[in-house]
Amino acid sequence: MGTAVSIRDVVDAFETAPDEASSFVNRATGDVLTVLQEHLDLAEDDSPREMADWEQEMVAEAKGILESDDWIALPTKFERHEWKILDEFGRSLPTESERMAIADAIHRSGAFQNFKATVRRLGIEPAWFAYKTRALETIARDWLTHNGFECLDAPMRP
């Protein structure tokens, strides 16, 4: 059996990592880390630079990730097909008017912002957050299993 990794840690990385960051899982320890692209770039650049102590720590962490075969990158939001999750949520809604409102929101420019506003307007934010969590947990479980990790179950959420 592979190294145990918390599904909750992976989902948290999916949900909290900014667009300018990458998240990784350590094959040996199961640790999940998120690193800003800026720190990854600095880790690849050997030019001396003045940095605050905290930033030197972040760059050293990034360098350790880049130089070790123990770290594997988690799928990006594009690889997770986040727009598809929005679409599937919309299709799962019980009323035609809700399904149409979500479809309209995500098929226009600014899909993600439109989606958020529509979900708020319809009063279905709790249903969206529960759906999204389940979808990300499934993606995390599938990815971890595919990469030979043992999955530590996430606590059940509503």
pLDDT in tens, 31-62: 999 999 998 888 888 777 788 888 889 888 98
- Within a domain: residue 61? yes
- Within a domain: residue 64? yes
- How much is the pLDDT for 155? 56
- Indicate whether 54 and 11 sit together in one domain: yes
**Which of 102, 106, 155, 107 lies closest to 133, judged by CA?**
155
How far is 117 from 120, CA to CA, in rounded Å? 5
**Cα separation values, 70 from 20, 65, 140, Å:** 22, 8, 18
- Within a domain: residue 8? yes
- Indicate whether 129 and 107 sit together in one domain: yes
- Within a domain: residue 157? no
Maximum Cα interatomic distance, the chain, rounded to a whole number of Å: 60
- Indicate whether 87 and 70 sit together in one domain: no
- Indicate whether 67 and 99 sit together in one domain: no
- Within a domain: residue 18? yes
Between 99 and 46, residue with greater pLDDT: 99
Number of domains in the chain: 2
Band of the pLDDT at 158, cuts 50, 70, 90? very low
Reported residue count of the chain is 158
- Indicate whether 9 and 51 sit together in one domain: yes
- Indicate whether 27 and 68 sit together in one domain: yes
Mean pLDDT, rounded, for 6-34: 94
- How much is the pLDDT for 75? 95
pLDDT beyond 80 at 152: yes
How many C-beta atoms surround the C-beta of residue 16 within 10 A? Answer: 10
CB neighbour burial string for 63-83, b if at least 16 within 10 angstroms, e if fewer = bebeeeeebeebeeeeebebe
- Within a domain: residue 158? no
Contact 29, 7 (CB under 8 A): no
- Indicate whether 67 and 92 sit together in one domain: no
- Indicate whether 120 and 86 sit together in one domain: yes
What is the span of the domain harbouring residue 37? Answer: 4-75+147-152
- Within a domain: residue 140? no
**Which of 103, 106, 107, 102 lies closest to 125, judged by CA?**
102
Query: Mean of the per-residue pLDDT values for the chain?
Result: 92
- Indicate whether 56 and 97 sit together in one domain: no
What pTM, to 2 d.p., does this model score?
0.86
Mean pLDDT, rounded, for 59-68: 90
Displacement of CA 149 from its chain's centroid (Å) = 17
pLDDT beyond 80 at 156: no
